[in-house]
Amino acid sequence: MVAPLKVGIAGLGTVGAEVVRLIETQARVLAGRSGRGIRVVAVTARSKAKKRSIDLRGVDWAKDPIALATHPEVDCFVELMGGAGDPALSAVEAALNAGKSVVTANKALLAKHGIKLAKSAEKHGGALNFEAAVGAAIPVIKTLREGLAATGISRVYGILNGTCNYILTRMEQEGLSFAECLKDAQRLGYAEADPSFDVDGHDTAQKLAILASLAFGTKVAQSAVYVEGISSIAPEDLRAAADLGYRVKLLGVAVRTAKGIEQRVHPTMVPKSSSIAQVMGVTNAVTIDGEGIPPITLVGPGAGGAATASAVVADIADVARGIRANPFGRPVAHLRDTTKAPMERHEGGYYIRLLARDLPGTAAAIATRLAEQKISIESIVQRHPNGGAVPANPGKAAPVPVILITYATHEDAVRRALAAVQHDKVISGRPQVIRIEKN
């Protein structure tokens, strides 16, 4: 009879406690699917005295994560502490160097040290599994690494942060400002007290760097990702998007281009008819475009204790089965270096919102500057603040919102045109620019 896989868990927060509970309550199912039992034999956490809704009787309590990672009874070390540095890094390294398998949900650790850890896993023969690091219960890691191993990927993109998707959903549906929705998200626990990591796009960037490596065979490099957040998005942008047949989402996009792999995170207009546009609230989604197949969209809960724990336990079950896949889909020696693609080279359609001064020649000046950069306009919408009424004093009229949708053009052309328009002093304030991602 095959001996059970003995598991050590570092971190007993919401996810860690749920992992312990799942392994206990689903023991028979896991044993049947894995061909052997799975048993938690040791744990560690910051506080041993803290009350938890799990039974840890008979489970050894290691004094620290390193002791747990090198525990003689542990076959599989599960890291659920978080953070890109220690103690998570040292503990994972210690486990891999000891020939143990590692399961982690730590996107920050993988985005910064993933290649080094993958090398150690290859050298010492352990697995390095991290399904829960991107999209929680959405099986996107296995899909890219194993399910689509014979498919050339041209683009992978998605909604990878539930906090941002919740805020944009509320703004669209209720006409609220970004600040109002963020405050409500914090009250409901969807956003942290300091929400900048989420709303400025860095959480999405870490996840995108991991997906890009799996999709395109590049080394994980968060520094290669261009990042913008959602704080500049206003209700009028969402209303205009709806009128034009679009919806605004914060997307992480990695795409193969003639100039290399472009990785970017920014607010994006997507057609309402697209699968990704239907994903609302805190839900996550990833779309994969592959050669010879229709786009594949995976949708599900991207965070939360139960969803994350489910993915962690699935990774543990793979270890129990004896599966040892290359962490990033290829041997580390075959992964290519990647550099940050300048956004000036990005080519696509653009939404541009200007506050045009209601003066003779304004429209002509804007049109001239766009034409100078060979930017073609697909549509233009002008909303007069007085509903089309002639102002009583034309010389002091309020600026008029003008919305432009361009055909595909280069970002540097858009930037040059708008800089010239601002120099002409025919608009007020800064232009709002949102990229458009077609199906």
Annotated binding-site positions for NADPH:
107
Distances (CA, A) of 409 to 261, 264, 374, 417, 436: 18, 17, 8, 12, 11
Sign of CA dihedral 327, 333, 336, 337: positive
* 217 backbone dihedrals φ, ψ, rounded to 5°: 70, 35
Taking a C-beta distance cutoff of 8 angstroms, is the pair 151, 228 a contact? Answer: no
Taking a C-beta distance cutoff of 8 angstroms, is the pair 165, 159 a contact? Answer: yes
Q: Where are the alpha helices (DSSP H) in 175-263?
A: 178-187, 196-199, 202-216, 235-243
Find the largest Cα–Cα distance for the chain: 90
Catalytic residue among 6, 112, 142, 207: 207
* Cis amide prior to 87 (ω within 30 degrees): yes
DSSP of 305-324, one letter per residue?
A: HHHHHHHHHHHHHHHHHT--
Active site residue 374: no
Give the chain's count of helices (H) and strands (E): 14, 17
Q: What is the distance between the alpha carbons of residues 27 and 42, in angstroms, rounded to a whole number? A: 17
Which residues, including other chains, have CB under 8 Å from residue 117's CB and lie 6 or more apart?
92, 93, 96, 102, 109, 110, 128, 327
Q: Is 15 helix (H, G, I), strand (E, B) or coil?
A: helix
Nearest to 62 by CA among 40, 83, 82: 40
Residues annotated within the binding site for L-homoserine are: 192
Q: What is the distance between the alpha carbons of residues 383 and 359, in angstroms, rounded to a whole number? A: 15
Sign of CA dihedral 387, 407, 291, 148: negative
Taking a C-beta distance cutoff of 8 angstroms, is the pair 44, 68 a contact? Answer: yes
Q: What is the distance between the alpha carbons of residues 33 and 17, in angstroms, rounded to a whole number? A: 22
Nearest to 434 by CA among 250, 245, 268: 268
Residues with catalytic annotation?
207
